[in-house]
């Protein structure tokens, strides 16, 4: 069985102008991008007569399946940085795009949420069926960490063996994160998400004119209001709070049955400590969680090579030595 390796944090210190967590989030999103990824796109048909797109980095080593954040895609910064590492290792990378996140509106109105894990499970089985002997690693970022946590803790199907998973900056209780985004400078992130959703739903309205109350959707100013008026009723919940409770993964984490590394920042503006699981919810021997102040956690979050080394992958015959350092030490 794969074992935990010694995990040593570097003595990295952020420059003075990046001590603020908002500055780190914005800086990383703009400047810390991975190399250009030459993806091969695969469109997987779903049982409900729809599809989702997967962008693939071809390689001969283990497979890494990556889940992006809310309203992101396979081209999100954290995904391209990870896939840069995957390319250098000669591994295979599979970046899922949630429905209507690949630049194409889907064939059904179906919208993704953190509790809908069927597409991710289908992708995991697709990867397994491509090569029965290839080890599979899973990683989710932010919103994607909650989807992945739900997938591996309460899957809708029997999953194949997963060697290890990483949950990075996960929001395991949805409502405190949504509430935090409605305050202070974090409103900038919320408005970005709301604007993205409104533009996407304008396209959905043209294709599916009678599915929801689009006027109420377009008038919504916050994510909570949008979910309370539209998303929760669409998924048969009485209100947003009930919806958030159901799709939060915290209370299911004890069901995880393979080594899983969890990283959170104590001053993450999108996932504050109220979103974190309790000690009881982390009682599974398979879970290892680090909760750090941002200078440390950002250095790991923005450098996947660090958490890939968390588990002693080399003991399974997969060396992690790279021919070149993937990123400058200035940001490690």
> How many percent of the chain have pLDDT more than 70?
77
pLDDT in tens, 54-64: 999 999 888 99
Domain regions of the chain by residue span: 16-173+250-331, 185-247
Tally helices (H) and strands (E) across the chain.
Answer: 12, 8
Q: Which residues pair with 164 in a beta bridge?
A: 137
Q: Which of 265, 218, 220, 226 is nearest to 21 (CA)?
A: 265
Task: Quote the pLDDT of residue 108.
Answer: 95
Please tell me which of 3-7, 120-124, 269-273 the model is most confident about, judged by mean pLDDT. Answer: 120-124
Give CA separation, 81 vs 90, 147, 197, 278, 294, in Å: 15, 20, 25, 30, 18
Ramachandran angles phi, psi of 222, nearest 5°: -130, 165
pLDDT in tens, 172-213: 999 999 998 888 877 888 898 999 999 999 999 999 999 999
- Look up the pTM and report it: 0.85
pLDDT in tens, 112-169: 999 999 999 999 999 999 999 899 999 999 999 999 999 999 998 889 999 889 998 8
Give CA separation, 241 vs 74, 160, 307, 327, in Å: 29, 33, 33, 41
> How many percent of the chain have pLDDT more than 90?
55
Q: How confident is the model at residue 36 (pLDDT cuts 50, 70, 90)?
A: confident
Give CA separation, 201 vs 25, 132, 198, 266, in Å: 26, 39, 5, 33
The Cα 194–Cα 163 span in angstroms is 36
Average pLDDT, the chain: 82
Give, for 178, the enclosing helix (H) or strand (E).
helix 174-181
Q: Average pLDDT, stretch 228-253?
A: 95
Q: Which of 160, 33, 37, 147 is nearest to 92 (CA)?
A: 37
Instruction: Please say if the pLDDT value at position 2 is more than 70.
Output: no
User: Distance of alpha carbon 224 from its chain centroid, rounded?
Assistant: 20
pLDDT in tens, 157-181: 889 999 889 998 899 999 999 998 8
Coil vs helix vs strand at 119: helix
Q: How confident is the model at residue 20 (pLDDT cuts 50, 70, 90)?
A: low
Ramachandran angles phi, psi of 194, nearest 5°: -60, -45
Token pair 């950002």 is at which residue? 298
DSSP 61: S
Instruction: Write down how long the chain is.
Output: 332
The Cα 286–Cα 4 span in angstroms is 10
Beta strand ranges found along the chain (DSSP E): 40-45, 51-57, 63-67, 92-96, 136-141, 164-168, 260-265, 287-292
Task: Quote the pLDDT of residue 286.
Answer: 85
The Cα 208–Cα 143 span in angstroms is 26
CATH number of this structure's domain 16-173+250-331, picked from the four choices 3.40.50.1820, 3.40.1160.10, 3.40.140.10, 3.40.91.50: 3.40.50.1820
């Amino acid at each position: 069985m794969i074992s935990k390796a010694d995990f040593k944090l570097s003595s990295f210190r952020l420059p003075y102008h990046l001590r603020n967590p908002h500055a780190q989030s914005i800086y990383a999103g703009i400047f810390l991008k991975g190399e250009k990824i030459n993806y091969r796109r695969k469109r997987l048909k779903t049982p409900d007569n729809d599809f989702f797109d997967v962008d693939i980095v071809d390689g001969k080593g283990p497979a890494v399946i990556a889940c992006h954040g809310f309203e992101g895609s396979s081209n999100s910064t954290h995904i391209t940085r990870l896939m840069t590492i995957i390319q250098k290792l000669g591994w295979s990378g599979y970046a899922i795009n949630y429905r209507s996140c690949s630049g194409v509106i889907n064939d059904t109105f179906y919208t993704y949420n953190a509790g809908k894990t069927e597409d991710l499970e289908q992708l995991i089985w697709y990867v397994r069926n491509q090569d029965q002997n290839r080890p599979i690693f899973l990683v989710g970022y932010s919103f994607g960490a909650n989807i992945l946590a739900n997938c591996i803790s309460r899957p809708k199907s029997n999953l194949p063996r997963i060697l290890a998973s990483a949950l990075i900056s996960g929001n395991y209780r949805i409502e405190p994160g949504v509430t935090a985004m409605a305050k202070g400078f974090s409103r900038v992130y919320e408005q970005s998400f709301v604007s993205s959703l409104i533009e996407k739903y304008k396209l959905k309205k043209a294709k599916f004119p009678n599915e929801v109350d689009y006027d109420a959707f377009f008038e919504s100013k916050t994510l909570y209001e949008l979910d309370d008026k539209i998303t929760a009723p669409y998924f048969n919940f009485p209100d947003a709070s009930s919806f958030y409770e159901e799709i939060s993964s915290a209370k299911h984490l004890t069901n995880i049955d393979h080594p899983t590394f969890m990283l959170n920042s104590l001053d993450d503006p999108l996932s504050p400590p109220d979103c974190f699981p309790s000690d009881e919810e982390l009682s599974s021997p398979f879970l290892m969680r680090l909760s750090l102040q941002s200078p440390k956690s950002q250095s790991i979050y923005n450098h996947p090579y660090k958490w890939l080394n968390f588990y002693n992958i080399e003991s399974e015959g997969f060396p992690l030595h790279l021919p070149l350092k993937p990123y400058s030490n200035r940001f490690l």
